[in-house]
Structure 1
Amino acid sequence: MAAALAVALPALLAFALVSSGPWRLPGPEPPPGLLRELEGRQRDLGRLAAVIRARVSPASSSSPPPPPALGCADVEGAAGVSLVGSGITKVVVRAALPPAGREVALKSVHGGGRDVNRCVQRYGHPAGCHRLAAYKLLKEATLLQSLEHPGIIELRGQCYDGSADPEMKITTILELGTPLEMIELLQTPWEKRFKICLDLVELLYYLANSPLGSITLLDFQPRQFVIVDGVLKVTDLDDASTEELSCQTDEDCVLEFPTKNFSLKCTMRGKCEGINERRNLFNAYRYFFTYLLPHTAPSVLQPILKDILNATGDLRYGVNETLRAFQKVLHLYKSGLYLQKKPSHLKEYIALKGFHSGTAEDYKCWPSYSHSGCVLSVHNAEEAADICSSHSQCQHFIITPQKTWTGRPLALFQSSSADLIPGGNTVVYMKRSAVSRGKPLTRSPNDYRDVGEEIPAGTNFGPPGR
């Protein structure tokens, strides 16, 4: 029995295309229908390989060599294997690889999946049906090696098990991500949801202008995406296509969706203009933007977000215009220009230097960055004061050192000053109405300040009455 071999992807592809053509399967000959499907998948891989050879320039000889790819030896030593998820074609498991126990995702053909089972029921040839599904895995690995973007899952290596022939058993080794849970995302702060949508738009811009040409994700679903270190990444590319629909007239260029159809132009070169880009964009609108973009957004930004929704929902925007619109929203949000000009509430607060909260548990607000208290992203103390004044429970707030992905600080809003502890570099902003006689906060008078005003000596600050 042949030993398992780890091979580089080009060699693996050549092996699949030449050495193990579907007509050379040992054992019973596949039925003619299955043989045609196998040959079709093989031609698809051949076309993809030709596109890569034609469009992707080889790496410069002066470039440093890439790190050694992981292979079969690493997969054989995997520990802590657990199921991440499975689909109609593939199954993904989580595993720790030696020697450092680094965690990766291992993807292989799902022998019990609907793709293989349906094929076996139709053709009665398990080995050929497994190989048919394996071609999808090969195509995906080929694309992953040819494309490079923060929004595309990283290919760490692959393994071809020669002993599994004629099934052509293949395992791809990928960086590990967390499956996207839309229900959980809907409960997160708007800033996080906006980032997911922005990550997606930046990915779609890359796919529209990739080294292989415009790429469309034919099976565009939230389940095809994961989160890696807070970044949205597409992890399934087996149904991606670099081919644009051919046409003779505009009537041939109809982009169909379950609830809406769009008519596109047929170009002079006989291709439907921008069809790959616009298919991706409308799917982003219906699966992501509609749910994640508008809810709980700052009120001043909502008209711009609504325009983005309308323009992508009608495909009036292409990916270039959509990206510019998202960048405009990001600029307004990061700069604080979205804040409405209105009387400041900050003068209603006293700044206590050198105190911090002993606990983050207090009243809750939505959507908070903490499940046990009210923690929100703010542009500055002015915005935090406006928020605190709008919460009936809030008596003080603290601008914490923590930052969000936009660089904005997180503010902790609380209803009681009983847990304020001397020490640290943070500043507590307490409502003047919360100042009452009681247990004093024994600090130097100069440490209690509001905007340019010193707190009189002997002032006592106690916890507000409940």
Structure 2
Amino acid sequence: MPLMGNPLCAAALLAFVVISVLVSLLIGSLQHGSKAKSGYVSNGTLGEEFAPRHGELIYQLNERRKEIMPLLATAGQGSRGQPSASSLFPQQYQPPAADSDLGPRSELTDGSGLTGVDEMGCDSLVDVRAVDILGSGYTKLVVRVFLSEDQPAALKFVNEQGSDMEKCLQEFEDPRGCYELVSYKLKKEIVLLQRLQHPNIIKLRGHCMEDAGGGEEEGEGERGGGRVTAILEQGHPLQMIQLLQSPWEERFKVCLDLVRLLHFLSRSPLGSVALLDFQPRQFVTVSGELKLTDLDDATVEEPACQTDADCTLQFPHRHFSLPCSARGVCEGLNEKRNLYNAYRYFFTYLLPHQAPPGLTHLVDHIMNSTGELRADINQTLEAFEHILLLYKSGLHLDNLPPSILKDYTVMHGMRTSGSVEYRCWLSYTHQGCVLSVHNATEAASICNSHSQCTTFCLTGERTWSGRHLASFYSGFSSLVPDGMSEVYLRKASPPETATV
């Protein structure tokens, strides 16, 4: 089992994962011996001396409930494939009496009507094998696992050792009530993932609700403290340092995926959605696609306002003002918040560097319009799609003379063997020079600009945009047959350096 980070820290976290996932979620045999210590007497009821401080806890629980209910309201009651509000939260959370339990559970349940949405439930976790930890935060823990038949997945559940749980326990001394409170973020995220389905949002494969006591004792299914697990498709954390060293085409795709996502969020089934915690760490990649994986801090309501001063976006070095609409709402504020965050966290670092010369003026236009919020998300997406069209079609290369290929001898149906490689900047491989090209003419122009280059080879490999991958060499020992490849050998000494 591979470990991540400091061995002792990783071992401790993995031990917690095994206990939480394999015992609490799968076996369901966690005992309730800690109830007396936390303010519960032996029969599971709340001690009278803890009732006053529980008033605040119950208030916070009901506030979390109110936050989630609007997300369910638009789904309709009992609509096929959508969660029912009444089944998700049967009734308002009520304060417990000294001789009663905490009251009805405010949680997702197996009978909530979610089976039409989720592919997987608790049964899918029977043979789970934890592999390593993908991430941990104040509220949640994410673990990479293999399910039955070696299906890879990511499990997301409440971090019972996180700071949110620790803070709640210090204030209320109620593990069961605190778990209920902290778990609301994960419950909210499950609902949002069900409602907001898009290629650039992580896919929710299912969820599981397990009673802390496994339902072994009579009435356990009606008590609070049920453990929540989200079953997600597995992604890889976005590595910005590596991305900065990637070819421009790959960095452009990340930005394009992000803009397509923000366009969807601006007019989602829930309305305009703002990502309040907008950071690269909230995203992963799945098979080369950028996907949003953390939605618990998303809001689906435009801010209310009384004056224009209420509609101000504050950023560390900039602020933007919008008018307060006649109906008392800052219309478009969510969209602009997302767009400017995309500019300052993604576009600034990924988009301009090493952009193709024929596209730099269009890239600069995007940078200026988003950095000043002069364009909306529709205009920004249109600008990105226009760049993609030019890049895929090669129309940005109209200044390259076709005669440049006269300097090369072409051998069709062949590839090099015993090639002498050299490294170039932003290559698709670290050991050689492999770049994306539209055609042989662009490849020849690149080879002419490299003093080491004497040969390049076009294979059948293509990038996500459909462009060819070309390998550049300073020499080779022989040629071998390959019906999918072409080798271009420079005829004479390297010409003057060309501009690509």
User: For 1:194 and 1:57, how far apart are their aligned partners in 2?
Assistant: 39
User: Gaps spanning 5+ residues in structure 2: where?
Assistant: 1-22, 27-43, 83-114, 214-222, 495-500
Find the residue that maps to 1:153 and give its secondary structure.
coil
Find the residue that maps to 2:453 and give its secondary structure.
coil
User: For 2:118 and 2:353, how far apart are their aligned partners in 1?
Assistant: 45
Larger deviation, residues 341-350 vs 132-141? 341-350
1:309 Cα offset (Å): 1.0
Select the residue among 203, 206, 220 that pairs with 1:157.
Answer: 206
Equivalent positions of 1:312-461 (< 5 A) are: 312-343=370-401, 344-358=403-417, 362-433=421-492
- Does the CA-based 8 Å contact 1:293-1:305 persist in structure 2? yes
User: For 2:81 and 2:118, how far apart are their aligned partners in 1?
Assistant: 16
1:426 Cα offset (Å): 2.0
- Does the CA-based 8 Å contact 2:460-2:484 persist in structure 1? no
Find the residue that maps to 2:193 and give its secondary structure.
helix
1:168 Cα offset (Å): 2.8
Question: Percent of aligned pairs with the same residue?
Answer: 50
Say if 2:279 is the partner of 1:256.
Answer: no
- Report the equivalent of 1:92: 142
- Report the equivalent of 1:137: 186
CA RMSD of aligned residues (A): 2.3
1:35 Cα offset (Å): 2.5
For the structure 1 residues 404 and 178, does the alpha-carbon distance in structure 2 shift closer, same or farther, using more than 3 Å as the test?
Answer: same
1:5 Cα offset (Å): 9.3
1:67 Cα offset (Å): 7.8
Say if 2:163 is the partner of 1:114.
Answer: yes
1:347 Cα offset (Å): 1.0
For the structure 1 residues 281 and 433, does the alpha-carbon distance in structure 2 shift closer, same or farther, using more than 3 Å as the test?
Answer: same
Say if 2:154 is the partner of 1:105.
Answer: yes
- Post-superposition Cα deviations, 1:103-141, rounded to whole Å, max 9, x if no partner, equal 100000011112212222333333222211101111100
- Does the CA-based 8 Å contact 1:358-1:420 persist in structure 2? yes
For the structure 1 residues 359 and 409, does the alpha-carbon distance in structure 2 shift closer, same or farther, using more than 3 Å as the test?
Answer: farther
Residue correspondences, number? 409
- Post-superposition Cα deviations, 1:49-68, rounded to whole Å, max 9, x if no partner, equal 223339x97569xxxx9586
User: For 1:420 and 1:83, how far apart are their aligned partners in 2?
Assistant: 47
Letter in structure 1 aligned against 2:437: V
Larger deviation, residues 251-260 vs 227-236? 251-260
Letter in structure 2 aligned against 1:277: E
User: For 2:247 and 2:384, how far apart are their aligned partners in 1?
Assistant: 17
1:434 Cα offset (Å): 6.0
- Post-superposition Cα deviations, 1:127-166, rounded to whole Å, max 9, x if no partner, equal 2222111011111001111121101111111111123553
Equivalent positions of 1:271-290 (< 5 A) are: 271-290=329-348
User: For 2:285 and 2:472, how far apart are their aligned partners in 1?
Assistant: 29
- Report the equivalent of 1:128: 177
1:188 Cα offset (Å): 0.6
User: For 1:284 and 1:95, how far apart are their aligned partners in 2?
Assistant: 31
For the structure 1 residues 5 and 429, does the alpha-carbon distance in structure 2 shift closer, same or farther, using more than 3 Å as the test?
Answer: closer
Say if 2:137 is the partner of 1:78.
Answer: no
- Report the equivalent of 1:177: 235
For the structure 1 residues 354 and 216, does the alpha-carbon distance in structure 2 shift closer, same or farther, using more than 3 Å as the test?
Answer: same
1:387 Cα offset (Å): 0.3
1:423 Cα offset (Å): 4.8
- Post-superposition Cα deviations, 1:391-449, rounded to whole Å, max 9, x if no partner, equal 000001111110001101111100002243345442211101169xxxxxxxxxxxxxx
1:36 Cα offset (Å): 2.1
Larger deviation, residues 422-431 vs 260-269? 422-431
User: For 1:104 and 1:330, how far apart are their aligned partners in 2?
Assistant: 32
User: For 1:381 and 1:45, how far apart are their aligned partners in 2?
Assistant: 56
User: For 1:73 and 1:26, how far apart are their aligned partners in 2?
Assistant: 31
- Post-superposition Cα deviations, 1:360-406, rounded to whole Å, max 9, x if no partner, equal 66101110111111110001101000000000000011111100011
Select the residue among 348, 362, 381 that pairs with 1:304.
Answer: 362
- Report the equivalent of 1:245: 303
- Does the CA-based 8 Å contact 1:349-1:432 persist in structure 2? yes
User: For 2:195 and 2:415, how far apart are their aligned partners in 1?
Assistant: 51
- Report the equivalent of 1:168: 226
Larger deviation, residues 416-425 vs 134-143? 416-425
- Post-superposition Cα deviations, 1:327-352, rounded to whole Å, max 9, x if no partner, equal 11101111111114143421111112
- Report the equivalent of 2:75: 52
- Post-superposition Cα deviations, 1:52-90, rounded to whole Å, max 9, x if no partner, equal 339x97569xxxx95863122221310143211111110
User: For 1:151 and 1:406, how far apart are their aligned partners in 2?
Assistant: 17
- Does the CA-based 8 Å contact 2:189-2:294 persist in structure 1? yes
- Does the CA-based 8 Å contact 2:153-2:231 persist in structure 1? yes
- Does the CA-based 8 Å contact 1:364-1:373 persist in structure 2? yes
Letter in structure 2 aligned against 1:34: L
- Does the CA-based 8 Å contact 1:360-1:372 persist in structure 2? no
- Does the CA-based 8 Å contact 1:361-1:372 persist in structure 2? no
- Report the equivalent of 1:451: none
Find the residue that maps to 1:317 and give its secondary structure.
coil
User: For 2:192 and 2:294, how far apart are their aligned partners in 1?
Assistant: 10
For the structure 1 residues 31 and 259, does the alpha-carbon distance in structure 2 shift closer, same or farther, using more than 3 Å as the test?
Answer: farther
Say if 2:91 is the partner of 1:33.
Answer: no
For the structure 1 residues 166 and 66, does the alpha-carbon distance in structure 2 shift closer, same or farther, using more than 3 Å as the test?
Answer: closer
- Post-superposition Cα deviations, 1:250-295, rounded to whole Å, max 9, x if no partner, equal 1111111122111011111111020111111111111111111111
For the structure 1 residues 326 and 26, does the alpha-carbon distance in structure 2 shift closer, same or farther, using more than 3 Å as the test?
Answer: farther
For the structure 1 residues 352 and 245, does the alpha-carbon distance in structure 2 shift closer, same or farther, using more than 3 Å as the test?
Answer: same
Find the residue that maps to 1:354 and give its secondary structure.
strand
User: For 2:484 and 2:273, how far apart are their aligned partners in 1?
Assistant: 51
- Report the equivalent of 1:222: 280
Find the residue that maps to 1:53 and give its secondary structure.
coil
TM-score of the two chains, using structure 2 as the length reference: 0.77
Letter in structure 1 aligned against 2:135: G
